[in-house]
Structure 1
Amino acid sequence: MDKIHVAMDESDASQRALMLGQLLSRQLALPLCVTSVVAGEERVEPRRVALQSRLSEQQAEDTSIEVVVHASAKDYLGQLAGREAVGLCMMAHGRRPVPEMLIGSVTAGVVRRANRPVYLCGPRFDVDSHREVKVLMVCVDGSRLSEAILPHAVALSKRLGARLQLLQVIDTAAAAAVPLDGGHADVMESGYVHGLARRLRSEHDMDLDWEVLHGDPADSIVSYLADCQDTMLAMTTHGRSGLSQVVAGSVSHEVLHEVRCPVAVLRPADVG
């Protein structure tokens, strides 16, 4: 990652993404760019003026602005977020009850297209409680899907100088309903996350810790994070398209809606 981009429009909500971008830019010592997508050339200058005003409010006048004309904000930002050199920050909206609207249709589309982590702040994001990332907390559940974010999390934690923590929630009822060949049998064993931590220590020569919670996954994660400060959560999503699906995953969209910390969300490329 060589540059932090913040996806913004003229809304108040998108200004929260700027705060997250500033946090990562400062901690990683990377340049920051505000990126906005408009449908036609006639919207370029008005959008630039509006963004300059937003940056002035945040005393961030030196931040570069990139206004791009493109037919699809989802496509452009998804391609941008998919670049190894880019870290993209976005605001996730908190609308109910349609699952996709919990993170916003554009944000959901970007996550589906990027196949790399997208850095999101939900409607409850509290920048005063999370001024830097001292702990990078990674949700795992015994599945290949959840573990797909680990290489990204390991690399990011080292660059941030943050402590890596594995977080597992054992939901007995849910685990019992999953077929044994679904990759979740290990969830019922307390040794799963311990063994995973041991493997990561050995492979990456790093110190990390882990925590096992019990109960409903989303509720347990939100409750655990309630009093945490200077933390980022990292998790994967199945990211299926269509409003009939839970676009951000039954756990991740609820977590994103409730937590006060930023969340790095990955939709792995091999998810169907």
Structure 2
Amino acid sequence: MDTIVVAIDDSTDSLKSMEFGRRLASQLGVEVKAISVVPEQEAVTSCSAMLKARLEAHRFDNIALEVVANHSVKDYLGELASREDIGVCMMAYGRRPVPEMLIGSVTAGVVRRSRRPIFLCGPRYNGRAHQQVDVLAVCVDGSALSEKMLPYAAVLAKRLSARLQLLQVIDTSTVRKPTSLDHTDVSESAYLSGLARRVESEQALEVDWEVLHGDPADSIVNYLADSHNTMLAMTTHGRSGLSQVVAGSVSHEVVHEAPCPVAVLRP
């Protein structure tokens, strides 16, 4: 990853991702640029002038801006984010109650199209509490899908000189009440401790872990509530349509509510 590209539009909210993108690029030691996609070539000049003025007003005047014309913002940014030399940052903002609307349909579409993680700042993102990445927390649940994030996270943690942490949530609403607390603690930690040892061996990286209990989305958000300088990383099924309402609801809820940036991957 040689460049951090921040997708912006005419909203004030998109400047939150601009701030995060600049900080991430600085920590990685790479360049940062802003990009905006408009549907028609005729709109490029006026959009460029407007966005340059907005960037200058918010002290981003030293950041290069590119405005491109493409009929599909999702396709263009999805292809851009799939490149190994580029990391794409975006603002994720939406509304309830449909899960995809929690992060916005454009953002969800880019996540579905990209073959690499997308860096997202949700509406609760707190730039004052997360000015750099000291901890990279990866959500896993025992599935091969969730572990697809680990190679990306390990490489990123090394480049950021950040601590890699594994998080697993035990959903207490679906787990039978234990007959022995000690035995339950051992079985709950066995997966994470074993996975941590595997990652340490494969990636030559120190890893710690934490088991949470409760509703998956709520538990993760509550765990992050008082965190500082943390990035969360997680995978999502990210399917469109009705199947996505269940498959992607946890990741979308977390992105919408988390105070820290979230790297999302659809394997």
Q: TM-score range by the shorter chain?
A: over 0.9
1:3 match: 3
2:149 match: 149
CA distance in 2, matches of 1:128, 1:165: 22
Q: What does 1:70-219 correspond to in 2, within 5 Å?
A: 70-174=70-174, 189-219=188-218
Q: CA deviation at 1:248?
A: 7.1
Contact 2:78 2:114 in 1 (8 A): yes
CA distance in 2, matches of 1:41, 1:98: 33
For residues 209-239 of structure 1, the C-alpha deviation after alignment (integer angstroms, 9 at most, x for no partner) is 1001111111110111000000000000000
Superposition RMSD in Å: 1.6
Q: CA deviation at 1:28?
A: 0.7
2:179 match: none
For residues 96-144 of structure 1, the C-alpha deviation after alignment (integer angstroms, 9 at most, x for no partner) is 1121111111100000000210000000101000000000000000001
Q: CA deviation at 1:189?
A: 3.6
CA distance in 2, matches of 1:4, 1:175: 41
Contact 1:108 1:248 in 2 (8 A): no
Contact 1:238 1:247 in 2 (8 A): no
Give SS of 1:100's match.
Answer: helix
Aligned length: 258
2:220 match: 221
CA distance in 2, matches of 1:247, 1:266: 17
1:27 match: 27
1:37 match: 37
1:239 match: 238
Unmatched segments (≥5 aa) in structure 1: 177-186
Give SS of 1:245's match.
Answer: helix
Using a 3 Å threshold, how does the CA distance of structure 1 residues 130 and 44 change in structure 2: closer, same or farther? same
Greater CA drift, 36-45 or 239-248: 239-248
Give SS of 1:27's match.
Answer: helix
Using a 3 Å threshold, how does the CA distance of structure 1 residues 145 and 244 change in structure 2: closer, same or farther? closer
Contact 1:15 1:54 in 2 (8 A): no
Give SS of 1:157's match.
Answer: helix
Unmatched segments (≥5 aa) in structure 2: 177-185
Q: CA deviation at 1:57?
A: 2.3
CA distance in 2, matches of 1:50, 1:34: 13
1:257 match: 256
CA distance in 2, matches of 1:157, 1:189: 25
Q: CA deviation at 1:161?
A: 0.6
CA distance in 2, matches of 1:248, 1:24: 29
For residue 158 of structure 2, what is the amino acid of its counterpart?
A: K
CA distance in 1, matches of 2:247, 2:55: 30
For residue 113 of structure 1, what is the amino acid of its counterpart?
A: R
For residue 135 of structure 2, what is the amino acid of its counterpart?
A: V
For residue 239 of structure 1, what is the amino acid of its counterpart?
A: G
For residue 83 of structure 1, what is the amino acid of its counterpart?
A: R
1:64 match: 64
Contact 1:99 1:243 in 2 (8 A): no
Contact 1:100 1:243 in 2 (8 A): no
The TM-score normalised by the length of structure 2 is 0.93
Q: CA deviation at 1:175?
A: 5.9
Q: CA deviation at 1:188?
A: 5.9
For residue 107 of structure 1, what is the amino acid of its counterpart?
A: T
For residues 68-108 of structure 1, the C-alpha deviation after alignment (integer angstroms, 9 at most, x for no partner) is 11010000000000101110000001311121111111100
Structure 1 stretches of 4+ with a deviation exceeding 4 A read: none
For residue 135 of structure 1, what is the amino acid of its counterpart?
A: V
Contact 1:241 1:247 in 2 (8 A): no
Contact 1:90 1:107 in 2 (8 A): yes
